[in-house]
Amino acid sequence: MNQILTYDDMVNIIQGAAFLGAGGGGSIVQGLAIINEIKDKGKSVKVVDPNSVDDEALVVVSAGMGSPAAAKYGWRNEHLPAFDLLEKYLGRKIDFIVPIEVGAGNFAVPMHTAAFRDRVLIDGDGAGRAIPELELTTFDIYGIPISPMAISDWQGNGAILFVKTAMDAERIARQITVAFQGNAGIALYPMKGKELKRVVIPGTISLAMKIGKILREVKERKLDVAQTLTKELEAFLLGIGEVEEKVIETKHGFDYGRVKLKVKEGDLIVYFKNENIVATLNEKVIAMAPDLICWVGLDGTPLTNADIEKGMKVAVIGLKAHERLRSEKALKAFSHLYKELGFDIKYKPIEELIK
């Protein structure tokens, strides 16, 4: 993709990114509010393929941190002063902006930064899905230093952090975010263009836009959403059914839980840590992260774990993760998530498990 986005493009991207977020990635409400501001202020967003970026160009991640509930209605563009703070510290112009991960909120924020700071957005991100921890990004997995990292509130109160690891960054930055009343903007992973091309998951904004168009067509033409998505995306239908139970517990700043569906084949349960990590059918594992386990309402509405409620009729769609998340190094980074959710298992690709 090398183009300037229309408003309809941005809406489609937010809808598609909500689906690709695999249960997380921020609220659609927040995402649409952010892109509406881009439209209302007459701004535009230019998106380019990562392969077109000059090797010596400076690329930075622009994102938000904090409580999803606080961000849903209380986001005040904290990402802009964080971006400005990092650029001031680096002492040179930041050329390109790349999303941290896929998601309705986490695509809208870098789009907004690109629009309001007149920079160019990369068609790609650091995960190809939403992930619960910074150390699961391909930036981190493949050795891009996370710092210097800027963090700011909406008024411009902020700091430059120097940390050894992404875990240190999470620990320190989340404490600062508490002092900022639950929302903070962050700018991090400064890298050159040649490093970006080595580590980024390419084409995810284009993919989100494609999915958003598909979901719009599903609604307008009243198509079968599961059949349409599995065909158009070469995806896997994990199940269609009604939500019987949703259990959620917040621990250590993360939402842990499970959603149980009654499907034709039996009981389908999706286990999550913020994002969907493991899916089982009648206690047999049928999909696991980094492969994507995604929610969509039967009317074509993309859903996050915050949206799922008892009684909803939904389809559960699985997609293969990008090859950069299926390397031995990447799978090692994801392996602890299974144990946290009670599974003593090793990763198997979705195309093998679904058999």
Q: Give residue-wise pLDDT tens across range 14-29.
A: 999 999 999 998 889 8
Q: Are both 51 and 108 inside the same structural domain?
A: yes
Specify if 61 maps to a domain. yes
The reported pLDDT for the residue numbered 178 is: 85
d(CA 71, CA 109): 11
Specify if 210 maps to a domain. no
Q: Are both 78 and 9 inside the same structural domain?
A: yes
Specify if 120 maps to a domain. yes
Domain count, the chain: 2
The reported pLDDT for the residue numbered 68 is: 62
d(CA 29, CA 10): 13
Closest Cα partner for 185 from 146, 145, 148, 158? 158
SS3 call for 99: coil
Specify if 209 maps to a domain. no
Q: Are both 82 and 227 inside the same structural domain?
A: no
Specify if 212 maps to a domain. no
SS3 call for 284: strand
The reported pLDDT for the residue numbered 72 is: 60
d(CA 79, CA 62): 7
The reported pLDDT for the residue numbered 227 is: 97
Tens digit of each residue's pLDDT (9 = 90 or more) over 117-134: 999 999 999 999 999 889
The reported pLDDT for the residue numbered 254 is: 80
Could you tell me the CATH number of the domain that includes residue 306? 2.40.390.10
- Which structural domain range is residue 264 located in? 223-353
Low-confidence ranges of the chain (pLDDT < 50): none
Could you tell me the CATH number of the domain that includes residue 127? 3.40.1610.10
* Domain edge (last residue) among 149, 167, 202: 202
The reported pLDDT for the residue numbered 346 is: 97
SS3 call for 43: coil
> For the whole model, what pTM was predicted?
0.94
* Domain edge (last residue) among 168, 202, 236: 202
